[in-house]
Amino acid sequence: MTRAVLTLNAGSSSLKVALFPLDGDTPLASGIADRIGPEATLRLKDAAGAPIVAAGDLTSHTSALAAVIAAFRCQWPGLDLAAIGHRVVHGGIDRTGPEKVTDALLTDLTTLAHFAPLHQPHNLAGIRAAMAAFPGVPQVACFDTAFHRGQPFIADAYALPRALYAEGVRRYGFHGLSYDYIAGVLAKTEPQLGAGRVIVAHLGNGASLCALEQGRSVATTMGFSALDGVPMGTRPGQLDPGVLLYLMDQKGMSATAISDLLYRQSGLLGLSGLSNDMRTLEASDTPEAAEAIDHFALRCQMEIGSMAAALGGIDALVFCGGIGENARHVRSRICARLLWMGIELDPGRNAANARTISADRSHTKVLVIPTNEELVIARAARKAVVAG
Ligand code: ADP
């Protein structure tokens, strides 16, 4: 019998899965059901990267989950799921860590959907699908906001009338599972840095930065929603709210049209007119693609300055996420103007995507640490098994 925990990350049209043994940190399998609907694909691979044969109805999250489980059961006939962990974007004001799913929690998380309408309903649909398929198995919700919830009022407030703060209009921050993972790695492998002032740049299709002091979040670039901060694949990052007033008042754009502009048409895609994908932009020779990359790097530099100010200095900078872990030219562009904060890359180490990419004489250490949000979820799910 194989006892395992399953992690699920349900997006609007995707379901990312990973299967972890109950007693180990290396996944037995992982994969994604993409473009759920009539055109869906399901790709699963085992620990060695070999594909796992998978097929079935992929027209809904529920049926895609069934197809995933059927494929896993073919590979591990005695598979016994001890717990299921879920990524949930929004945990609200008070949740500072993972929680076992109960009916009361689901009801509460449903009311938070108006804070994250594009993500939360899909996350919750994933939980409901898993509860229906595995009624007796503990389900654990892991929140992207939870890691940042220890910030004081002056850090998480907007300068708006206080009544709005009370009803939840405040900076939440996201990518918390990633930052939690990086803080954990630093505490284990570089305890001195882990106890110091670290800026983590999680740069993927979604991107944000976080200022860590003794492993705790004291500032982060995303705010009320996952739109704020640095530019992303299709999101603009920080934007003067006056632009939104202009779009509404002068161009008559609806909330739905603005939402589409901000979530799907902006960022690297909007600036380049070409793609949201950094690899595509790096391969392009158009000036717009180059400007999109340069804008991205400039905004990251500026936010690194902002995070350093929140920390009163910096001991290390950590890159993670698809761009942070792989795009060496982007990393060197970002770091090029940060010598004033003691950041100096070693070009050879940077080109090799080494773990330490700073030069020996660099005052501030620069690291590349592949993030692992799934492992954070799997560990939380495991704890629920132990807790019973
Ligand atoms: P998500 O936020 O969807 O999880 P990822 O963390 O997977 O996104 O990051 C996706 C981004 O990483 C894309 O822009 C992709 O082009 C970029 N990326 C991945 N590999 C490389 C690479 N080798 N060089 C440059 N960019 C890369």
pLDDT digits (tens, 9 = 90+) for 5-16: 999 999 888 899
Nearest atom in ligand 1 to the alpha carbon of residue 268 is 14
Token match 């929680």: residue? 99
What is the phi/psi pair of residue 110, to 5°? Answer: -65, -40
Residue type, 231: P
**Distance in Å, CA 178 to ligand 1 centroid:** 15
pLDDT of residue 11: 86
Nearest atom in ligand 1 to the alpha carbon of residue 206 is 2
**Distance in Å, CA 206 to ligand 1 centroid:** 9
Nearest atom in ligand 1 to the alpha carbon of residue 281 is 16
Lookup: tokens for 129: 């699908």
For residue 324 and ligand 1, the question of a CB distance below 6 A is answered with no
**Distance in Å, CA 372 to ligand 1 centroid:** 14
From the list 383, 387, 381, 379, the residue with the least C-alpha distance to 83 is 381
pLDDT of residue 213: 98
| Residues assigned a catalytic role | 144
Ligand 1 atom 12: residue of nearest CA: 322
Q: Which helix (H) or strand (E) holds 213?
A: strand 207-213
Greatest Cα pair distance, the chain, in angstroms, is 64
For residue 142 and ligand 1, the question of a CB distance below 6 A is answered with no
Grouping H, G, I as helix, E, B as strand and the rest as coil, residue 219 is strand
388 burial type by CB count under 10 A (0-12 exposed, 13-18 middle, 19+ buried)? exposed
360 burial type by CB count under 10 A (0-12 exposed, 13-18 middle, 19+ buried)? exposed
CA distance 81 to 243: 49
Pocket test for ligand 1, best of 268, 323, 334 (most atoms within 8 A of CB): 323
**Distance in Å, CA 324 to ligand 1 centroid:** 8
pTM recorded for the entire structure: 0.95
Residue type, 336: A
The alpha carbon of residue 265 and the mean position of all alpha carbons in its chain are separated, in whole angstroms, by 20
Asked if residues 365 and 344 have their Cβ atoms less than 8 Å apart, the reply is no
For residue 329 and ligand 1, the question of a CB distance below 6 A is answered with no
* Sequence-ordered alpha helix ranges (H) in the chain: 61-75, 103-111, 120-133, 153-156, 162-166, 176-189, 191-194, 241-249, 255-260, 267-272, 278-283, 287-311, 321-326, 328-336, 347-351, 373-387
Lookup: tokens for 26: 């290396």
**Distance in Å, CA 382 to ligand 1 centroid:** 29
Ligand 1 atom 19: residue of nearest CA: 322
For residue 204 and ligand 1, the question of a CB distance below 6 A is answered with yes
pLDDT of residue 229: 98
For residue 277 and ligand 1, the question of a CB distance below 6 A is answered with yes
pLDDT per 10-residue tile (average), the chain, 388 residues: 92 91 94 92 96 92 92 92 97 96 96 90 93 93 98 96 97 98 98 98 96 98 97 97 98 97 97 97 98 98 98 98 97 97 98 98 98 97 83
Nearest atom in ligand 1 to the alpha carbon of residue 371 is 6
pLDDT of residue 170: 97
For residue 321 and ligand 1, the question of a CB distance below 6 A is answered with yes
Taken in order of first residue, the domains within the chain and their CATH numbers are 3-143 (3.30.420.40), 183-368 (3.30.420.40)
**Distance in Å, CA 278 to ligand 1 centroid:** 6
**Distance in Å, CA 331 to ligand 1 centroid:** 13
For residue 206 and ligand 1, the question of a CB distance below 6 A is answered with yes
Pocket test for ligand 1, best of 279, 296, 325 (most atoms within 8 A of CB): 279
CA distance 19 to 14: 17
For residue 323 and ligand 1, the question of a CB distance below 6 A is answered with yes
Q: Is the dihedral of CA 23, 216, 228, 205 positive or negative?
A: negative
pLDDT of residue 384: 85
**Distance in Å, CA 210 to ligand 1 centroid:** 19
Q: Is the dihedral of CA 23, 27, 29, 32 positive or negative?
A: positive
For residue 326 and ligand 1, the question of a CB distance below 6 A is answered with yes
pLDDT of residue 388: 66
